[in-house]
Amino acid sequence: NAGVMQNPRHLVRRRGQEARLRCSPMKGHSHVYWYRQLPEEGLKFMVYLQKENIIDESGMPKERFSAEFPKEGPSILRIQQVVRGDSAAYFCASSPGLAGTTKNIQYFGAGTRLSVL
Amino acid sequence: GNSVTQMEGPVTLSEEAFLTINCTYTATGYPSLFWYVQYPGEGLQLLLKATKADDKGSNKGFEATYRKETTSFHLEKGSVQVSDSAVYFCALRGSNTGNQFYFGTGTSLTVIP
């Protein structure tokens, strides 16, 4: 059973370009979470999605950032017109979504490290 | 609201020393508590968890006890190894927040031979 797969592992963009980060959850998981880890800082929650629905986007910047989790295919975190401050590690996690049970654990991917030149 | 506070690092210990990383939380209801570990260049891995008061989570020699009276979930290990060098994150899942997790800022541990 493959774990959470994120690609690319490293992404370099110039200011003003778009960045697209992909996340395939673990098999059988229907819930996806995106986090950002800035240098020397902890994880910051960005968005929580289920298939075709955004459940909680309270951590998403109001502009330039969007996320989706379509019925088919991976979840995508999209950053438009990147700026240097977007440079960070972006982690995706998935869970089976069994709210209220002890099995509802988040499993993390290895992350995508975005560098904006 | 829900939040997690961890002791600030970095922490540097000699091999075989005793480790404590403090974690306290604020939450309504009865949250579940977790410790995750992040090795260099990798994602977070679940280290241990506890789902109710007085539960003790343990794994790979690490332990943490869910203390509701002090709202704490301190991580301990009796004898650290160089391979334990990593960043450790305390996290909670609220009892009334569905699948939402809240993470601390992480504590970097370096173990020297």
pLDDT at residue A75, rounded to an integer: 97
The whole-number pLDDT of residue A99 equals 56
* Inter-chain touch A99–B99, beta carbons under 8 Å: yes
- List pLDDT tens digits, range A60-108: 998 999 999 999 999 999 999 999 999 999 999 998 866 555 567 888 9
| Dihedral angle sign, alpha carbons of residues A8, A43, B29, B76 | positive
Report strand pairing: B3-6 vs B23-26: antiparallel
- Report d(CA A27, CA A1) in Å as an integer: 7
Tell me the three state secondary structure of residue B93. strand
Is the CB of A105 less than 8 angstroms away from the CB of B36? Answer: no
Q: Residue type for A88, please?
A: A
Within 8 A of A99 by CB-CB distance, chain B residues are 98-99
Percent of chain B residues topping a pLDDT of 70: 96
Site of tokens 């679940």: B46
Which amino acid would we find at residue A54?
Answer: I
Instruction: Please indicate whether, in this complex, the C-beta atoms of B32 and A4 are within 8 angstroms of each other.
Output: no
The DSSP H or E segment spanning B107 is strand B107-112
Tell me: pLDDT of A25 over 70.
yes
What's the whole-number average pLDDT of chain A? 90
Angle, CA B6 vertex, CA A111 and CA B34 arms, to 5°: 60
pLDDT of residue A35: 93
Paired tokens of A69: 């989790």
Predicted pLDDT at B81: 97
Residue A38's φ and ψ, nearest 5 degrees, are -80, 155
Q: Is the pLDDT of residue B98 over 70?
A: no
Question: β-pairing, A88-95 with A112-116?
Answer: antiparallel
Q: Do A108 and B36 touch (CB under 8 A)?
A: yes
Pairs of CB atoms within 8 A across A/B = 58
Q: Which of A53-57, B17-21, B78-82 shows the lowest per-residue confidence on average (mean pLDDT)?
A: A53-57
User: Closest chain A residue to B51 measured between Cα atoms?
Assistant: A102
- Flag whether pLDDT at A34 surpasses 80: yes
